[in-house]
Amino acid sequence: MITVLVYLLGFRYLFTAGTKSDGGSRLATQKKHLGKSEKKHSHPLSAKPKSEKQAKGGHPNGNGHTNGNGLHTSPVSAKMGQPLASKKFKLDSGTLIRIHDWMIQARVLEERLIRMYKQSQGYFWLGGPGEESFQIPLGMQIKKGRGPDYDFMHFHYRASGPMLVMGMDPKDAMRQMANVATDPFSGGRNFVAHFSRRDWNVVPVTSTIETQYLTAIGSGIAQKRHGGDGITVVTGGDAGTAEGDFASCLIWSSRPKQELPMLIIVTNNQFGISTQACTQHGEKNVADRGKAFGIRSSTINGLDVEDSWFSIKESMDYIRKERKPVLLEAKVSRLYGHSSATGANFVQNEEDPLSTFETQLERASILSRSEMDQIRERHNAEMLEMAKAVREEPMPDPQSIYDFTYFGQKGKYF
């Protein structure tokens, strides 16, 4: 009963960004009557049990660890982690519960997509597990709609979280994974996580690293001219910032008296496929580069839900009002490697923001272990059924290869 209520409220209050809500209070109150469980959720695609440190809610990252690729990892996320026992939330419990629900959905979806890949129901996987603590708060604060009055999203390929929050049917991500004709983003033409929704201002995700930082300039210019409070949001990883396109974005967005209303986001997982950032980048933080252009810049702990939430909120409030850019670097994890190209296996030694958040919620008596397990199990079951259904959907018609080379065109154009 409570689980269903949480589920419904998750949708009902999807775009409520306040720190208080009746729904949240009710949930918090009702939750107190539930029994608490210390049961820990295990990662369904993980070959090994969780470490003792993780099981206790600690941060597994630290000096000398290796990631799933056998490479040394930086201790940054461990340093940025907060003492879980002392966590005092600023957001109301209703918002926290919604965030948690979306984080679980995003994780379960990605794990389902990985399973689909491993079961040969798709050719390739990549996505954003390990970034949910940042991506969900981002998605919840997007002003969704079509045209310059609303936010434009130039996402990279780890954005299933915000897409879910914005209203994406998880089944649609599975359709793209299975490259079936019903894939609404590309009709079976593109990789999974290459989302596109014109009615939501989500421009097509591209495989070309960093070009989204260039196209974002254009919608930023259009929105600057248009006025209002719509902004341009662009996301990408840390490795891609080595491309000149990132510098282009900083330059174009900060031209004197022509600053653009852009939220320039870098999710820093400290890897470019298998290459460690510390072996290629001399700058301490990517966000430091923004300071040279007079861009308001900061580096945050993207593994912390509230740090993410309030950093995004503050940034968006500033951009919507001042019509100037913000560079926001969020340190995140990469829990299943870069993509299926590196195995798509769970990485044991990076902080799992969902696990961290769940421990925090449990210790704050906002959700019990058993409630959280029920939520996950429900989403797991629903998405399993979705994947089964997608398996039965038709592949694209080979005759369709010429369609939409030009706008509105079907069949061979020339």
Partner 1 sequence: MANMAQAIRMALHFGEKNLGLKEVFGEDVGPPLGGVFTATQGVECAWNSPLDERGIIGAAMGLAMAGSRCVAEIQFCDYIYNTIDLLKLAGNQCWASNGDWNLPMTVMTPVGSGIRGSLYHSHSFDATATHIPGWKIVMPSTPLDAYGLMLSCLKDENPTMFLKPKALLRVKGLEPIPGEPDLTTEGQKELSQMIDKPVVGDTREWKPKWPKLTDFSIPIGVGKTVTTGEHVTVVSYGRTLPICEQAAKNLLADGISVEVIDLRTLWPYDWALISESIRKTKRAIFVNEETEVTNFGEHLLRRTVEEHFYELEARPRLVAGAFVPGVGLADPLEMASVPQLGHIETAIREVVAERA
Binding-site ranges for partner 1 (CB under 8 A): 147-148, 152, 154, 183-187, 189-190, 194, 196-198, 203-204, 206, 208, 211, 213-223, 225, 232, 244-245, 248, 251-252, 255, 403-408, 413-414
Which residue lies nearer to partner 1 by CB, 9 or 319?
Answer: 319
Q: Minimal distance in Å, beta carbon 225 to partner 1?
A: 7
Confirm if 50 and 43 have CB atoms less than 8 A apart. yes
Q: Minimal distance in Å, beta carbon 21 to partner 1?
A: 33
Which residue lies nearer to partner 1 by CB, 121 or 219?
Answer: 219
DSSP SS3 for 370? helix
Confirm if 371 and 31 have CB atoms less than 8 A apart. yes
DSSP SS3 for 267? strand
161 is written with which tokens?
Answer: 């979280």
Q: Minimal distance in Å, beta carbon 187 to partner 1?
A: 3
As a 3-state breakdown, the chain gives helix, strand, coil percent values, each rounded to 5, of 45, 10, 45
Which residue lies nearer to partner 1 by CB, 46 or 248?
Answer: 248
Which residue lies nearer to partner 1 by CB, 19 or 248?
Answer: 248
Which residue lies nearer to partner 1 by CB, 79 or 198?
Answer: 198
Q: Minimal distance in Å, beta carbon 148 to partner 1?
A: 5
Q: Which residues of 306-328 are buried (b: 16+ CB within 10 A; e: fewer)?
A: bbbbbbbeebbebbbeebbbbbb
Which residue lies nearer to partner 1 by CB, 139 or 261?
Answer: 261
DSSP SS3 for 264? strand
Rounded to a whole number of angstroms, the CA Rg of the chain reads: 21
Cβ-based burial of 158 (10 A; exposed 0-12, middle 13-18, buried ≥19): buried
Q: Minimal distance in Å, beta carbon 81 to partner 1?
A: 37
Confirm if 120 and 337 have CB atoms less than 8 A apart. no
Which residue lies nearer to partner 1 by CB, 151 or 306?
Answer: 151
Other CB atoms within a 10 A radius of the CB of residue 347 amount to: 24
Q: Minimal distance in Å, beta carbon 76 to partner 1?
A: 30
Q: Minimal distance in Å, beta carbon 295 to partner 1?
A: 15
Find the helix or strand (DSSP H, E) in which 253 lies.
helix 244-253
